[in-house]
Structure 1
Amino acid sequence: MPRRNYHLPERTDAGYDRACARALLEAARVNETQLAERATGYYWGEPLLKPYVEELRVEAEQQGDDRLEQLARRFLA
């Protein structure tokens, strides 16, 4: 599989997990979840990321991004 750059911060960065949550959702939007899982080190549905995914779900809802909201709901299920 080709490698995509997800523009993730260093793992020690306080925003790393939130960036990983966004990367997984955005990758799912284009059917590249496996690539994002490899890049982030997290699997789809990772409990540690759920608070960040919930924040992203709310943002998507407020912005009218129905697809991202749907993906976030699936992640949280």
Structure 2
Amino acid sequence: MSRAFVKEDSGFVPPGLFGLPDRDDPRFDAAAARALIEAARDANTASAEAATGYRWGEPRLHRHVRKLLQAAEGLPEEEQDRRYIRVAKRFLGT
């Protein structure tokens, strides 16, 4: 069998592109929170964790996730992304 079809589990997850500012940028935590929620919505949490350096549910990001959740729930019903709202609530443990 070709090596192209052999899955090797090295434990490495590529970070992906999340449009994150530099770590020392004051906007980094808010962008990291958004990246984690969006990645979880798309079933790609591990990649966002690798890119941000934060683990799922990181308490330091809770205030940013609460703002994202509030904005998502504030949209008209037909524009709401229900999966996004669910994963944001799961991040917060609610």
Query: After TM superposition, is the score higher than 0.5?
Result: yes
Cross-structure match for 1:36: 48
Cross-structure match for 1:73: 89
Q: CA deviation at 1:3?
A: 4.4
Question: Any gaps of 5 or more consecutive residues in structure 2?
Answer: 1-12
Tell me how far apart the structure 2 counterparts of residues 13 and 2 of structure 1 sit (CA, whole Å). Answer: 22
Tell me how far apart the structure 1 counterparts of residues 59 and 40 of structure 2 sit (CA, whole Å). Answer: 17
Is the CA contact (8 Å cut-off) linking 2:56 and 2:91 kept in structure 1? yes
Whichever structure has more helix as a proportion of its residues is: 1
Cross-structure match for 2:35: 23
The number of aligned residues is 77
Tell me how far apart the structure 2 counterparts of residues 68 and 31 of structure 1 sit (CA, whole Å). Answer: 11
1:35-57 deviation line (CA, Å, top 9, x unaligned): 00000000000000000000000
Tell me how far apart the structure 2 counterparts of residues 14 and 31 of structure 1 sit (CA, whole Å). Answer: 27
Q: Compare CA radii of gyration and give the structure with the larger one.
A: 2
Q: Secondary structure at the match of 1:43?
A: coil
Is the CA contact (8 Å cut-off) linking 1:58 and 1:69 kept in structure 2? no
TM-score by length of 1: 0.93
The ranges of structure 1 where at least 4 consecutive aligned residues each deviate by more than 2 angstroms after the TM superposition are none
**Could you tell me which amino acid in structure 2 is paired with residue 68 of structure 1?**
Y
Tell me how far apart the structure 2 counterparts of residues 65 and 73 of structure 1 sit (CA, whole Å). Answer: 13
